[in-house]
Chains A and B, each alone.
Chain A
């Protein structure tokens, strides 16, 4: 019952519009004022047949680390026509694994298999999946739920989109296997509201599976029931946080809840709940199919397996690349991404979504793509969204944009986060307009420090971490934008001359276009603050 499908004559964004934009982008390449690689990059990552993400890694030069050559697994079929249909999935052995295990294998053995494989959460925190499953409260007499996190709102991340739009059945099969392993009869898959096509495709996939008897009552003819419910969010980053997502599924504002109790003990509707990312659950399908040893042949000891990385920013070929964990960051940027555009120089890399602390070029040289390496560099692998910033990027504008994001997305429950993100944004805004006050650099550090570890969820940390890393590595950029005026004096002038919006327009230097006035509209979350003086 494709919800958005029927009533919308437009079929709301089935492939054509997206395709259209991509194709035109490619055509545009010739006459475009942009240098050719931009369009090439755009067309490359497009989800259209010719040369999308997957083939490139397959053809990628041999790298020394993996013991076994690797070709994409989760994204293997995303470029084939109709890859989202049941027929296509079954033609390549789909649902055979579920059929072989449901009602046959011991659920505990499945959990052990996943634990042995060393699979770690792909949603951000990197928590070992098998271990998470084994924490599930047992014998409570309450139903157990699985909640799959398809919110994918971490800026710089666009991997789940491909699974949902191009190969949703592997997710459905993963859900079936996971639910059987953890003893759940009801799974929720939560997608962000902006995934219109993804919702249609996944919903259709669930219906197809239902019609075949893979989902519903007595699946695969065994005495196992399973309901899969696809929920669509409506544009809130905080619904990606696991407990925020649960609040949203329960029909409320997406407010995160205090932990402990962790969802595995008391989650959805107060019942034990496992929360996993879309990519994690999709990987479960392949691990159960091929075994733990198969999964461990790639990656490093502590970060086994493969992962989808999302490459964006100033590289020649941005897009999604599925690679074994443990390859070097240089390899990712230079070989998969084709290097920086127009021979530009590297300035910084955001390695794991916007929340991850930035890396300087020196750190990039040392960095490999696994959980430990990035942690040792003071950053994190996060969701695998790698953004390359080149020398042309003004780091101050970048951090201002970042802070604006967190201020907008803070849910407003905790004072340090609600006020702190707004405060960081305001001060960053001053720098953005070359009007930093003396003492502002210390002020930013102070606010960021005091936001960490004091809130219900880690969004406050996620906002503070990039700020701290920018302050650490790009302090000079901040200092260059401090005006000599002392703080108190400046404050007085502001009060006299305000309106703040007029101020924004007339600001000189690297100021934003007049269009910035008005900022984000249509929301009242977290006390939209227009007064940025």
Chain B
């Protein structure tokens, strides 16, 4: 069985890892055969929204993982907002995302598998060979590892899934042979990851969809979507030098005023801990004008 089973059939220009590059024109559809499948679903399901689970699987196949572009196309096809699709994708853990490795090890860590250290045996072996612990990915993005909950094969622990394949009793020589095969298929020497530092997988949404701006937003110099990074680390955002001090008197002016940048009181309240970055008006907003 080819370990690359999740890669698209050459139909897609975007690989699993690279999110849709800004240079390529935005795609609005899947490949013709997957679109045909979508139309089948649309006919079979009572409404388009209800086909979402299956259409997301199409998107996953098409792009190798559920990228932003994949989510946008899915949203368009199923007549829902991108936010809804994002909500789905972050709720269901089995969908493959760009932050996962190309080969994604899912090791069952629930009680029946964890008994007698079976789960640990598999995890340690994976760590030994690939240098990745649960939650980590190799720096080249080829492999990632995570703990998952019961995979419904509890009598044959440890249970592991990888690349759409299901394995039971997956430790010792069996796992070793599988790892060997994967590494060989990738053209890597057996000790390719010895001593190499892994990177931590970041399950947060990597970028926000770039194609969804409010009309006229950019022209008017308003904040673009992708400026609104809620995860700015300290020092990452442009710091305002004159953050208003703490409130002297209780807030009495209507909030709307403050939000409009008139009243420094509300700015002081909302902005004091994450100086800047998020504010539409005032010093930070100015850079977009």
Interface of A toward B, CB cutoff 8 Å:
1, 3-4, 6-14, 16-18, 20-22, 24-25, 28, 32, 38-39, 41-42, 45-46, 152-158, 160-161, 186, 192-197, 227, 229, 231-237, 248-254, 269, 310-314, 318-320, 350, 354, 385, 387, 389, 392-393, 397-398, 401-402, 405, 408-409, 411, 512-525
Contacts and interface: CB of A to CB of B under 8 A. Distances in A.
Given A22-B169, A194-B94, A7 B111 contact: no
20 contacts: A7-B61, A13-B164, A21-B167, A24-B177, A25-B156, A25-B174, A28-B172, A32-B172, A46-B168, A194-B94, A196-B164, A233-B53, A248-B53, A251-B52, A269-B46, A313-B112, A314-B116, A387-B111, A401-B111, A405-B111
Contact of A10 (B3, B88, B204): B3
B112 A251 contact: no
Given A10-B1, A515-B133, A518-B135, A18 B111 contact: no
Interface string B134-151: 111000000000111111
B51 interface: yes
A512 B52 CA distance: 39
Interface in B135-190: 135-136, 146-157, 161, 163-170, 172-174, 177
Contact of A401 (B44, B110, B151, B167): B110
Interface in B90-108: 90-95, 97, 99-100
Contact of B57 (A3, A17, A354): A3
A310 B124 contact: no
B2 interface: yes
Given A311-B155, A354-B110, A518-B134, 13 more contacts: A10-B163, A25-B169, A186-B46, A229-B45, A232-B53, A318-B155, A401-B110, A513-B120, A513-B123, A515-B134, A521-B147, A524-B91, A525-B90
B203 A521 contact: yes
Given A195-B152, A234-B53, A10 B165 contact: yes
A63 to B, nearest CB: 22
Contacts of A157: 152, 154
* Interface-central residue, B34, B49, B53, B114, by most chain A CB under 10 Å: B53
Given A234-B94, A251-B53, A525-B93, A1 B37 contact: yes
A136 B182 CA distance: 52
B270 interface: no
Interface string B172-215: 11100100000000000000000000001101100000000000
Given A1-B37, A156-B112, A18 B167 contact: yes
B148 A235 contact: yes
Interface stretch (B5-13, B18-26, B221-229, B276-284): B5-13
Given A7-B9, A28-B172, A313-B112, A234 B92 contact: yes
B167 to A, nearest CB: 4
Contacts of B151: 194
A8 B50 CA distance: 24
Given A155-B110, A387-B112, A310 B168 contact: no
A27 to B, nearest CB: 8
A17 B115 CA distance: 24
Contact of A161 (B45, B152, B163): B152
Given A21-B169, A24-B173, A4 B150 contact: no
Contacts, number: 274
A70 B129 CA distance: 49
B149 A514 contact: no
Nearest to B43: A227
A45 B61 CA distance: 32
Given A13-B165, A227-B44, A522-B100, A236 B155 contact: no
Contacts of B247: none
B78 interface: yes
A39 B170 CA distance: 11
A442 to B, nearest CB: 25
A208 to B, nearest CB: 17
Given A12-B164, A18-B167, A253 B9 contact: no
B136 A518 contact: yes
Name the 4 nearest CB pairs between A and B, nearest first: A235-B94, A10-B5, A518-B135, A234-B92
Nearest to A231: B53
Given A513-B124, A515-B124, A236 B91 contact: yes
A314 B116 CA distance: 9
B109 interface: yes
B177 to A, nearest CB: 7
B127 interface: yes
Contacts of A6: 33
Contacts of B110: 155, 354, 401, 405
B120 A515 contact: yes
Given A17-B165, A521-B134, A235 B93 contact: yes
B127 to A, nearest CB: 6
A13 B166 contact: yes
B239 interface: no
Given A21-B167, A236-B93, A518-B136, A13 B100 contact: no
Nearest to A158: B152
B50 A251 contact: yes
